[in-house]
Amino acid sequence: MIIIDLAFLLIIIPWRMIPLARSRDRSAVGWTLGAIGAYIATSIVVSLVYAMIQSFGAFHLGWSVETMLLGIRIARIIGIICSIAAFDLLRRRLAAKTPPSSQSL
């Protein structure tokens, strides 16, 4: 799972955001860092939500260790999916901005 995160953070996000930002005459570094931030923040939020669910399940429902390990894997997959969705929403927002008009002198 870490390989997927690293591939997105170091390769896919910059590869998709930099040309799009440059074509819209926006800051390529700013939009790329914003997309990376959205990816990481979404992953953290999903992890925190699962941690609350896991603690509730362990204390009140008596979940076993095997159940919690399976839940961690499922939460990680959901986190990656949500992070990709957050990145894609930010990419679509940038793509919706109008490119600068070329004015002839």
Model confidence band, residue 34 (pLDDT cutoffs 50, 70, 90): very high
Mean pLDDT value across residues 22-46: 95
- Report residue 25: phi and psi, to 5°: 60, 45
Q: What is the pLDDT of residues 43-99, one digit of tens each?
A: 999 999 999 999 998 888 888 888 888 989 999 999 999 999 999 999 999 999 888
What are the structural domain ranges in the chain? 2-96
pTM over 0.95: no
pLDDT at 104 over 60: no
Specify the pLDDT at position 97. 87
> 1-24: per-residue pLDDT in tens?
789 999 999 999 999 999 999 999
Closest among 6, 74, 72, 89 to 40, alpha carbons compared: 6
Residue 1: its pLDDT value, please? Answer: 78
Q: Is the pLDDT of residue 42 over 90?
A: yes
Q: Within a 13 Å sphere around the CA of 52, how many CA atoms are in the beta-carbon half?
A: 5
